[in-house]
Structure 1
Amino acid sequence: MYGIVNKSIQDLITEKFGEDQWVAIKEKSGVDIDFFLSNEPYDDDVTYNLVVTASEVLGIPAEDILHTFGEWWILRTGKEKYGALLQAGGENLKTFLVNLPSFHNRIMLMYPKLTPPEFKVSDIEENSIHIHYHSKREGLQEFVRGILSGLCKTYEVEVDIELLQARSEGSTHEIFKVNW
């Protein structure tokens, strides 16, 4: 993953739990990188180690950390780094979610070594949509749920996000049903 992801995790932990907790997490994880370069790719293990270690140090389930980080990614990192791109996705939640499959195509112009997930949509209804999440990276479904939750907060829409299928249960990809 790119350094911007790890830097965002650092920012989240530092702001919510304090600099001392970040230092403890970094030391215990064995990550000996002084600072993350946003445009530099890092091994996925760095990110996974930070999340697992944060879970241990903070006493919070990794799934909760991933969910919170997904929201943070949209509400803080996304708005700060990709504000115009997010705004171009649509003027309401439904339009943004329908346009979600093309979002990473634009991001890849900024990060040419990116291995992005693929999103597809189906079952588009007046008040719901199915989001299909395909990725070579496993274990990030709660991060995606957090991203969806952050988008809902951005558009000030109350939603229910239901996981319909998951790779952990033998499926080929995750499907989320977003109801508003």
Structure 2
Amino acid sequence: MHGSIITLLKRYVQTQYDHSTWVKLVELSGLDKIEFNHKSVYPDEHVYALVGHAAEMTGIPAEELHEKFGEYLVPDLMYMYQKLVRPEWKTLDMIEHTELTMHKQVRQEHADNAPPVLDVTRISENELMIEYVSPRRMSGLAVGIVRGLAIYYDEADRIDVMPTTYDNGERVKIHVRRSA
């Protein structure tokens, strides 16, 4: 997992809870000897441990925490990739172009990082289907990012997100529809 995601996870925990909660999560996860750097790549197990312990501490299922974190990530992701985003894009356009713009750049610049593959099919002007494929099984993060994009583009009240999981979470179809 890219260090920028872990750095943002730390900020998310600190803003939603407090700094001591982050410290406790890091200790419980056995990661208290690691200084996370936003430019490094870390084992996915680090994030699994942090989110797993956060789920235990809060009583919120890990999948739901992934979704909440995904929503939280969007403003930072939009800032990081602003040069690749066209001003006329809205939620569905952004999703449709993520794989060939942002994910393509991440794969080129960070060989050790492997964002999920998003196979997006545009069904109509107001509807698309995302096939999320990743051995990380973090589709909740993708669902949260879709919801966060709808908030970012001020379309949250018009966007429906309906995930359908199969293949033990490694492949997930996410149906996204904008009401007229």
Structure 2 counterpart of 1:176, which letter? I
Structure 2 counterpart of 1:151, which letter? L
- Give the TM-score normalised by structure 1: 0.88
Residue 41 of structure 2 corresponds to 41
Structure 2 counterpart of 1:40, which letter? S
Q: 2:151 aligned with 1:129, yes or no?
A: no
Deviations 1:14-47 (A, max 9, x none): 0110011111111111112443111111111101
Residue 3 of structure 2 corresponds to 3
Distance 1:123 1:81, change over 3 A: closer
Structure 2 counterpart of 1:105, which letter? K
Report the identity percentage: 25
**Counterpart contact for 1:92–1:155, Cα < 8 Å:** yes
Residue 173 of structure 1 corresponds to 171
Structure 2 counterpart of 1:129, which letter? L
CA drift at 1:112: 2.6
Distance 2:3 2:126 in 1: 36
CA drift at 1:70: 0.6
Residue 63 of structure 1 corresponds to 63
**Counterpart contact for 1:89–1:96, Cα < 8 Å:** no
Deviations 1:52-109 (A, max 9, x none): 011112222211210011111112x313433333x34862223222212213001223
1:97 aligns with one of 92, 95, 112: 95
CA RMSD in angstroms, aligned pairs only: 1.9
Give the match's secondary structure for 1:37: coil
Distance 1:118 1:40, change over 3 A: same
**Counterpart contact for 1:90–1:96, Cα < 8 Å:** no
Q: Which runs of 5+ in 2 are unaligned?
A: none
Residue 145 of structure 2 corresponds to 147
Distance 1:89 1:67, change over 3 A: farther
Distance 1:174 1:89 in 2: 29
Distance 1:89 1:116 in 2: 24
Aligned residue-pair number: 175
- Give the TM-score normalised by structure 2: 0.88
Q: Which runs of 5+ in 1 are unaligned?
A: none
